[in-house]
Structure 1
Amino acid sequence: MSRTGTAQRTETVETEAGVARITWHPAREARLVLAVGHGAGGGIEAGDLQALAAVLPGHRVTVALVEQPWRVAGKRLAPAPRTLDTGWRGLWPALTVPGLPVVAGGRSAGARVACRTAKSLGARAVLALSFPLHPPGRPEKSREDELLGAGVPTLVVQGGRDPFGRPEEFPAGGHDLVEVPYGDHGFAVPKKAPLTRDQALELLTGAVAGWLDRLPRT
């Protein structure tokens, strides 16, 4: 598959966990690739992922939306973290475009996968959307070690009322954190909030674009 031009393209990739799928949103004169995986409760149709795919190519960022093998196979439940990591590792070579660094990203469970594998795969950085710091109501079951162990520059974008971890619950460490006020785990906001869902997504995409712009080129 050619990854030049600006037309959206889809390809399938064989991995040890099954067949994965990548939907490419190419940028003209791209300077990097952002590969983003979905969560355990949905696919690449998530509003934040679609917003990134619509906006970032205008910032010379090619966006690759990645569907794990379990989603491609039509299964309802995500497999164990080890299997998710196997799928991600298996498709990583397909994300490599000559001369372009790759930023690993994901929402929720996909963010955990990106953090766990980034350093070993040679990712330039990690984008963690709605990182599930702990199960709802179980702050003692912290997953902060995964986040803090990413080993590369990391941006967390978190809803202000995310039950999987509010921004103020996150530990200090080598990552940046941007709050989407009033946002839940999917960045939806209450009807009475002083910003709309579209404005919340604009805040998210603007923060991600700015952070990618500031990443060192090498």
Structure 2
Amino acid sequence: MTWLSIHDPDDAVRATLVLAHGAGGNRDQAMLRLLGDELAQRGVRTVRIDLPFRRQRPKGPPSPSGQAADRASFAETARLLEIDGPVLWGGHSYGGRMASMAVAEGPGPDEQGPDGLVLLSYPLHPPGRPEKARTAHLPDITIPTVLVHGKRDPFAAPEELAEAAGLITGPITIVEVAAAHDLAPAKSGAPAKAADAIIALLDQLNA
């Protein structure tokens, strides 16, 4: 399949993360690749996916009319790969937003929802438009959630993100890094810090 890439650990798989990209990228975004490498060293498989809108065209933003398909792609990937054991959904920016909305909607009748959620640079609002906050669905998220956020992200100041994260009813962990929206993964340490927080989330599930 040309729309997904898998990072497999050398030893036993502790959990699987289905991870999607932002509105302007694809599954080969640096943060996604480096996080997959970090998690593989910790026993977590990462499946990086191109969302349906990106499979249809190599460039350009997503369309509102395609959001339902983008949200459904997380459960479809898990079903296609017959993933066993704990599963996490997540993504960078738009990909994380779609994952969070899919979690809030709940699984379909023949689907199993994820055990945790990973939001990288959650796009709380368009830059300079705090009145356009994308928070309506957050109270319906009841599973453990890791949010990795840049201190200089124009899509949400740290205090804005913390306030919005408080709407999530499941346990939350916020990881701040010295970066903007792209998380500067080669410089900020974001991949390793995110991986550590994800392992802590999995430890919570097993406690």
Structure 2 length-normalised TM: 0.82
Shift of 1:87: 3.4
CA distance in 1, matches of 2:100, 2:137: 6
Match of 2:56 in 1: 73
Q: CA RMSD in A?
A: 2.2
CA distance in 2, matches of 1:148, 1:23: 32
Match of 2:30 in 1: 47
Mapped pair 1:92 → 2:88: no
Shift of 1:217: 2.7
Match of 2:131 in 1: 140
Q: Percent identity?
A: 30
Which 10-residue stretch deviates more, 75-84 or 22-31?
75-84
Shift of 1:95: 4.2
Shift of 1:140: 0.8
Match of 2:204 in 1: 215
Shift of 1:156: 0.7
Match of 2:13 in 1: 30
Shift of 1:111: 0.7
Indicate the SS of the match to 1:145.
Answer: coil
Deviation per CA, 1:79-116, whole angstroms, max 9, x where unpaired? 22223223334333124423x11101111111111111
Structure of larger gyration radius? 1
Shift of 1:29: 0.4
Mapped pair 1:82 → 2:73: no
Which residues of structure 2 form unaligned runs of 5+?
none
Deviation per CA, 1:13-66, whole angstroms, max 9, x where unpaired? xxxxxxxx2211112201110110111110122221111111111111011111
Which residues of structure 1 form unaligned runs of 5+?
1-10, 13-20, 190-195
CA distance in 1, matches of 2:39, 2:63: 30
Shift of 1:211: 3.5
Change in 2 beyond 3 A, CA 1:32/1:199: closer
Indicate the SS of the match to 2:205.
Answer: coil
Indicate the SS of the match to 1:71.
Answer: helix
Change in 2 beyond 3 A, CA 1:24/1:200: closer
Residue of structure 1 aligned with 2:94, choices 109, 131, 141: 109
Match of 1:187 in 2: 183
More strand per residue: 1 or 2?
Answer: 1
Mapped pair 1:159 → 2:142: no
Aligned residue pairs, count: 191
Structure 1 length-normalised TM: 0.78
Change in 2 beyond 3 A, CA 1:44/1:178: same
Which amino acid is the alignment partner of residue 121 of structure 2?
S
Indicate the SS of the match to 2:184.
Answer: coil
Residue of structure 2 aligned with 1:178, choices 171, 175, 179: 175
Mapped pair 1:199 → 2:189: yes
